[in-house]
Structure 1
Amino acid sequence: MPGISARGLSHEGRRQLAVNLTRVLALYRSILDAYIIEFFTDNLWDTLPCSWQEALDGLNPPQLATMLLGMPGEGEVVRYRSVWPLTLLALKSTACALAFTRTPGFQTTSEFLENPSQSSRLTAPFRKHVRPKKQHEIRRLGELVKKLSDFTGCTQVVDVGSGQGHLSRFMALGLGLMVKSIEGDQRLVERAQRLDQELLQALEKEEKRNPQVVQTSPRHSPHHVVRWVDPTALCEELLLPLENPCQGRARLLLTGLHACGDLSVALLRHFCCPEVVALASVGCCYMKLSDPGGYPLSQWVAGLPGYELPYRLREGACHALEEYAERLQKAGPGLRTHCYRAALETVIRRARPELRRPGVQGIPRVHELKIEEYVQRGLQRVGLDPQLPLNLAALQAHQAQENRVVAFFSLALLLAPLVETLILLDRLLYLQEQGFHAELLPIFSPELSPRNLVLVATKMPLGQALSILETEDS
């Protein structure tokens, strides 16, 4: 999906983008506010302009991927069966023009061509216990952190929200960085320490088999710390050096791979500390941001009319546009899940009007079920009688509108990147208001990792180093 690069925008350009985003999001707030499971109970289709309904009605999933989301299949040519209303075309163009691009600035052969579960860019010891998505992420972010560390003269990397330590291990034992890992869950830290020892043993065996790759410098395993980071207060543990630096004070680089909710905000606040010289943060779980406190951070965005992003909008910003577009192209039966769940909601409301949008535990193999079977299992999962009398004709009428449900959800998904762009733009502006240098770079393949924009910040101009950060290592 096309978009705008944060690198190409001046400070004033970023401010103007924030203005444009708040205006557009206010204009289409009704679509973003809607819950797809209320498609039938709230008659969401009829909330769209009639001309939009005519243009979208009857489109199959591949056509929606191509015409609405701008994700044509291989060798496919976009052909509109009718003239779309200018307002719908304007929405599509605006969504593409105002969202930060999610396409990485490098082109490389896929690292999973030979084996879909093993990155060809990571050696075997670093792939063990790591899923393909995470293999891609730790390699790309680790390499960027290494380059940023070299450029800023950092003496220590602090990995915040380190989980099982996959990123920390790669940075420390694969790239030779001094790494401190901070994680609040004791069990995850204990697991990380066991995996550290396992990896060290594997690397030692590898060296014995291949003496030509013997490590010339001593290895330093990550130093793991169990600590919850309070986003509202500075954490001294983040700022403590592992070793006394030879000259002057420690120079720290803070990083977080998909630091959840307010944890990303905590990294930004700690960047103001004199010990911290660089930041490389990939955020996620925007719906978990504190309100107020987590957004907005910048004075500029806080002063704009319509800047508010309630929970529903921030939750929508976490969807995977590229992954859903691929599902649309394949037109698999799994797409009917939203329609089935929306139909179930009508039955729940009739049985218990006060029960709205209850969580339904996953129902396996939904696509193999008749709609009445799904509803019966869903009723049982929310504590209602699965033998309630059902209006089968009404349920089948709902099922006949499956493509409309998919079309409405696709509209919301088209707008979701604008919400993410505003959240990340607010963070850029916040750092710039403090006098720092900040950029956003798409470094992961969006098909593998939907939250693929890394916020890079330094206390000196990046200059030519910025292009080096984006490139792939050979």
Structure 2
Amino acid sequence: MPGVSARGLSHAERRQLAANLTRVLSLYRSLLDAYIIEFFTDHLWSTLPCSWQEALDGLTPPQLAALLLGMPAEGEVVRYRSVWPLTLLALKSTASALAFTRTPGFQTPSEFLENPSQSSRLTAPFRKHVRPKKQHEIRRLGELVKKLSDLTGCTQVVDVGSGQVKSIEGDRRLVERARRLDRELLLALEKARKRTAQVAPPGPRCSPQHVVRWVEPAALCDELLLPLEHSPRGGARLLLTGLHACGDLSVALLRHFCCCPEVVALASVGCCYMKLSDPGGYPLSQWVAALPGCELSYRLREGACHALEEYAGRLQSAGPGLRSHCYRAALETVIRRAQPTLRRPGVQGIPRVHELKIEEYVQRGLQRVGLDPQLPLSLAALQAQQAQENRVVAFFSLALLLAPLVETLILLDRLLHLQEQGFHAELLPIFSPELSPRNLALVATKRPLGQAFSVLETEDG
């Protein structure tokens, strides 16, 4: 979907956008707060305006992708079968106009045209143990970090939540595995150098150094920097980075950037917004905190993590996998009849859902939540619910349409917070959203980069 570019908005425009977002989210809060598994128990379809029901009822998944989410299949001509109510059209236009664009400045993505399972931009040693999604993310974020490091003159890169630069990770097992993989990589590069005499092995200073440390959101600067060695040239200049730093970890990176004089730059891609502390993780900026309706419930923040582009692709293909939400909503009705106090229990994954009859799914689901799978079922009621599958998909698509607005407000709050502290910050879509839905990188510096900032947006040839 189009959206507004976060790059280059003035401080006043960012504040106005935040105010508009809180008003819109307040207006549609009931839609965003709804759980799709309660579609039948809470009669969610009847909560929509009658005119919306008439417009959406009976639409096929590909039509929903094209008409509602604005993502038609390639070459498809968008045609409305009826005149949509202005309120629904306004919702669609508003969602498109207020969300930060997630479209990067490159074709999707050229590195996988030859082979969808491995990046042509990474040599074999750097692809080992790395899936295509992560290959793409590492390459793109690596490019950005290198450019940002050069522009800011940093002497060390600190990767927080690295999992596997100098890296900080709270899980000792991951650190030990990362060290082993480093040794494997260095051996592979040395073998390649001997074979071709072209690949230079990295020296000791280029080898990643790993530190086991748990980073608390409110930790002091010294607690984070204690394990780090100072630059031999005197006075370390650090760049903090985190690839999909979960929940409060992204907030911790921001706070360390703000309070540590040694940290001169930040490149962070957040995720798992539902895990943000409340209060403490959001809102961060004084401006957003003062806006009426700025509060974001757990459900709204969870919805902001959905993959809009991926779901639109599923709608376009109209595969049987789309029925999973309908099946789960039907299961919820049976669970509540059997045990009214049990609401929205987690259901361990049921394989190959699309191959099951709805009654088979319900029986397996009952067993997953500790109830008798042989409970008497009303087959007629279950089949009547399955007949509403497209309504379930339509309702979920409506909520998904608004999800990017929640993510936009969270990230905009971080931008405004950094600006209120006197720093310079931008948001750049650096990954292909089809591969990596959380693709907006928050880039911050302590001195203005001016026109040089545009270098960060480009992809290396």
* TM-score, structure 1 as length reference: 0.95
Measured against aligned partners, the alpha-carbon deviations of 1:161-199 in whole angstroms (never above 9, x if no partner) come to 0002xxxxxxxxxxxxxx210000010001000000000
Structure 1 residue 220 displacement after superposition: 2.3
Tell me, what secondary structure is at the counterpart of 2:231? coil
Distance of 2:108 and 2:327 partners within structure 1: 40
Matching of residue 197 in structure 1 with residue 183 in structure 2? yes
How has the CA–CA distance of structure 1 residues 241 and 290 changed in structure 2, closer, same or farther, with 3 Å as cutoff?
closer
The 5-angstrom pairing of residues 213-224 of structure 1 reads: 213-215=199-201, 220-224=206-210
1:233 aligned to which of 209, 219, 225: 219
Task: Indicate conservation of the 8 Å contact 1:158/1:238, yes or no.
Answer: no
Matched with 2:381 is: 394
Distance of 1:244 and 1:80 partners within structure 2: 63
How has the CA–CA distance of structure 1 residues 189 and 235 changed in structure 2, closer, same or farther, with 3 Å as cutoff?
farther
Matched with 2:445 is: 458
Task: Indicate conservation of the 8 Å contact 2:33/2:299, yes or no.
Answer: yes
Task: Indicate conservation of the 8 Å contact 1:428/1:438, yes or no.
Answer: yes
Matching of residue 368 in structure 1 with residue 355 in structure 2? yes
The worse-fitting range, judged by mean Cα deviation, of 218-227 and 137-146 is: 218-227
Task: Indicate conservation of the 8 Å contact 2:211/2:227, yes or no.
Answer: no
Structure 1 residue 237 displacement after superposition: 4.9
Matching of residue 185 in structure 1 with residue 156 in structure 2? no
Structure 1 residue 458 displacement after superposition: 0.2
Measured against aligned partners, the alpha-carbon deviations of 1:66-92 in whole angstroms (never above 9, x if no partner) come to 000000101001000000000000000
Distance of 1:10 and 1:464 partners within structure 2: 15
Matching of residue 156 in structure 1 with residue 150 in structure 2? no
Letter in 1 for 2:161: G
How has the CA–CA distance of structure 1 residues 267 and 109 changed in structure 2, closer, same or farther, with 3 Å as cutoff?
closer
Letter in 1 for 2:312: A
Matched with 2:293 is: 306
The 5-angstrom pairing of residues 67-466 of structure 1 reads: 67-107=67-107, 110-164=110-164, 179-215=165-201, 220-240=206-226, 242-272=228-258, 273-466=260-453
Tell me, what secondary structure is at the counterpart of 2:241? strand
Structure 1 residue 467 displacement after superposition: 1.0
Q: Which runs of 4+ in 1 moved over 6 A?
A: none
Task: Indicate conservation of the 8 Å contact 1:39/1:342, yes or no.
Answer: yes
How has the CA–CA distance of structure 1 residues 244 and 37 changed in structure 2, closer, same or farther, with 3 Å as cutoff?
closer
Identity across the alignment (%): 88
Distance of 1:274 and 1:235 partners within structure 2: 9
Task: Indicate conservation of the 8 Å contact 1:106/1:470, yes or no.
Answer: no
Matching of residue 9 in structure 1 with residue 29 in structure 2? no
Q: Which consecutive unaligned segments of at least 5 residues does structure 1 have? A: 165-178
Tell me, what secondary structure is at the counterpart of 1:8? coil
Task: Indicate conservation of the 8 Å contact 2:239/2:266, yes or no.
Answer: yes
Distance of 2:157 and 2:240 partners within structure 1: 6
Task: Indicate conservation of the 8 Å contact 1:239/1:252, yes or no.
Answer: no
Measured against aligned partners, the alpha-carbon deviations of 1:136-156 in whole angstroms (never above 9, x if no partner) come to 000000110000000000000
Tell me, what secondary structure is at the counterpart of 2:370? coil
Task: Indicate conservation of the 8 Å contact 1:241/1:250, yes or no.
Answer: no
The alignment yields a C-alpha RMSD, in angstroms, of 1.2
Task: Indicate conservation of the 8 Å contact 1:66/1:78, yes or no.
Answer: yes
Letter in 2 for 1:259: A
Distance of 2:48 and 2:202 partners within structure 1: 65
Distance of 1:321 and 1:21 partners within structure 2: 18
Letter in 2 for 1:194: R
How has the CA–CA distance of structure 1 residues 187 and 330 changed in structure 2, closer, same or farther, with 3 Å as cutoff?
same
Matched with 2:61 is: 61
Letter in 2 for 1:262: D
Measured against aligned partners, the alpha-carbon deviations of 1:201-234 in whole angstroms (never above 9, x if no partner) come to 0000010111033348655211101000010122
Task: Indicate conservation of the 8 Å contact 1:39/1:405, yes or no.
Answer: yes
Tell me, what secondary structure is at the counterpart of 1:82? coil
Task: Indicate conservation of the 8 Å contact 2:350/2:365, yes or no.
Answer: yes
Distance of 1:239 and 1:353 partners within structure 2: 51
Distance of 1:321 and 1:40 partners within structure 2: 23
Q: Which consecutive unaligned segments of at least 5 residues does structure 2 have? A: none
Distance of 1:433 and 1:219 partners within structure 2: 37
Letter in 2 for 1:31: L
Structure 1 residue 465 displacement after superposition: 1.7
Letter in 1 for 2:348: Q
Structure 1 residue 105 displacement after superposition: 2.1
Distance of 1:431 and 1:260 partners within structure 2: 19
Task: Indicate conservation of the 8 Å contact 2:167/2:209, yes or no.
Answer: yes
Tell me, what secondary structure is at the counterpart of 1:224? strand
Matching of residue 19 in structure 1 with residue 5 in structure 2? no
Letter in 1 for 2:101: T
The worse-fitting range, judged by mean Cα deviation, of 132-141 and 107-116 is: 107-116
Task: Indicate conservation of the 8 Å contact 1:443/1:454, yes or no.
Answer: yes
How has the CA–CA distance of structure 1 residues 43 and 256 changed in structure 2, closer, same or farther, with 3 Å as cutoff?
same
Letter in 2 for 1:468: V
Structure 1 residue 106 displacement after superposition: 3.0
Distance of 2:301 and 2:153 partners within structure 1: 36
* TM-score, structure 2 as length reference: 0.98
Task: Indicate conservation of the 8 Å contact 2:190/2:201, yes or no.
Answer: no
